Amino acid sequence: MVNYDGFGPEKIVHVYNPKTGMRGFLVVDNSALGPGKGGIRMTPTVSEDEVLRLARTMTWKCALADLPFGGAKAGIIADDKQMSKQSKKEIVEAFSRSLKEISPAKYIAAPDMNMGEEEMGWYVKANGDNRSATGKPRKLKGLPHELGSTGFGVFIASKIAAEHKNIDLKKASVAIEGFGNVGSFAAKYFFEHGSRLIAVSDSKGMAYDKKGIDFGKLTGVKRNTGSVVNYGSSNFKNCSDILKVDADILITAAKPDLISAGDADSLKFKVIVEGSNIPMTPDVEEILHKKGILVVPDFVANAGGVISSYVEYTGGDEKKMFKLIEEKISRNTKLVLEISSKNKESPRESALVIAKERVLKKCDFCRV
């Protein structure tokens, strides 16, 4: 059952196209600050509840990043690994056409799981309005998420969090869950900074080396074999083994609901930075906060993608994008952690207060 809590959701749209078999939905959570912004997730298991939670995260993410966007998210129920590229294109195009009445007026799409710059190109062409999506190919005046905007922002948030916990990032050990767009770029920036990558996972398992993983070699292994698990002689065949690693910092960058309350007592991390959306519930974050583990919430840490979207939407370039991501995420992470320490509350509680205040100032239909 949908929880209408005074902020949203404003609109839930279910769409179906019998010719292509396309089934999907869109949730516009809140548009007080502007049109709802959020990616399209394509998986065989994506659910309305998952998209509702992600859309709310986008409301807070855009508000905290101080952007003129509301929160939204979309899902297409499909397994692109079991279809041809042409079939996927037809499904994306059908989904786009089904939303023309509200996109881009109330919804601006973006990449998410199994949806990249090429798919955003299909989306805008089917929609007929180049403003209907961001993360498009360069030829469509886009700033592709393949530039690594989210992973860069996660690294910046991690730098601030490490400083807050008096951790020397150049000497820190780092574990990264997920080696897709977000995780691979985060790993790149940590490696270049001098941090010690000791564990990296993907859907097939985990690469582990206490002495340090070479990022270049790992990238080659992933590209040539399809999984990081083939790096060296790893015995870790389960991606969830990443939670057993003893490292200073964990970056979550793939699975929702990765960490449960039952994991709390065994975690050895000092800092967890949520590069993925909803990797744990707020209740689990609260448990970890009381244990002394610093958790930087998803809508604080992984806002690089939506900041990049804003730069693209306003006609900015790649240089401006990276500069704005560093400025905004540095400032917002510092602010949230300072308030959290002062008020002796979790970072999520502090960040939510800031985000809610910004939405309420512009919202004539919200209630508290």
Residues carrying an active site annotation: 73
Q: Which of 122, 162, 157 is nearest to 142 (CA)?
A: 122
Rounded to 10°, the helix 215-225/181-193 angle is 160
Q: How far is CA 230 from CA 179, 191, 212, 220, 233, in A?
A: 13, 19, 15, 10, 7
User: Would you give the end-to-end CA distance of the chain in angstroms?
Assistant: 20
Q: Which of 212, 273, 207, 210 is nearest to 242 (CA)?
A: 207
Beta bridge partners of 26: 13, 74
Runs of H (alpha helix) within the chain: 48-64, 85-98, 117-127, 149-164, 181-193, 215-225, 282-291, 298-301, 304-313, 318-343, 347-362
Residues 6+ apart with CB under 8 A from 224: none
Query: CA-CA distance, 273 to 154, in Å (whole number)?
Result: 7
Residues 6+ apart with CB under 8 A from 121: 136, 137, 139, 140, 142
Query: CA-CA distance, 263 to 279, in Å (whole number)?
Result: 12
Residues 6+ apart with CB under 8 A from 61: 71, 298, 299, 300, 302, 303, 306, 355
Query: CA-CA distance, 346 to 361, in Å (whole number)?
Result: 24
Token pair belonging to 92: 């994306």
